[in-house]
Amino acid sequence: MENLIYSISLLLVIILIFSPSFLIYRLKKQYSEHVFTFYIVLGVIISSILMLVVAWWSYFSCEILLSHYGYDFELTMHHTERLKNVSPENLDKVKLLNQKRMGIGWPLKAIFGVIIYTPYLLIVYLLTFLYTKIRMKKKA
């Protein structure tokens, strides 16, 4: 179960990393005059959606793992009663997952992620722009 959850998380992060490159490739293929404007607008929209999915998945995957290990989500119980179905070898994992689940919510994590991720869009565009300029000089 853990391997499946971690592989889905890894896939989402890989998509998040390579989506700006794919987007700029598709936009440059259409020979549009306003590639930068379209890239920034579409990049922010797509990365916001992807960041929401990544943040939601991190929260939801913790809940999946907790229920897999036997953690009881009943709100009326005391913390020790919630752990009664958890095997002793998984007790540390469950406590760590439960702490990871607490704190700021996944929507706020997604908002912070988009704010931190936006400069990456500009860096990818700048590197692509420089790469095409160098490539054009070598051809000429």
Q: What is the pLDDT of residue 79?
A: 72
CA–CA distance, 102 with 64 (Å, rounded to integer) = 15
pLDDT in tens, 90-115: 888 888 888 888 888 899 999 999 99
pLDDT in tens, 16-41: 999 999 999 999 888 778 889 999 99
pTM of structure = 0.82
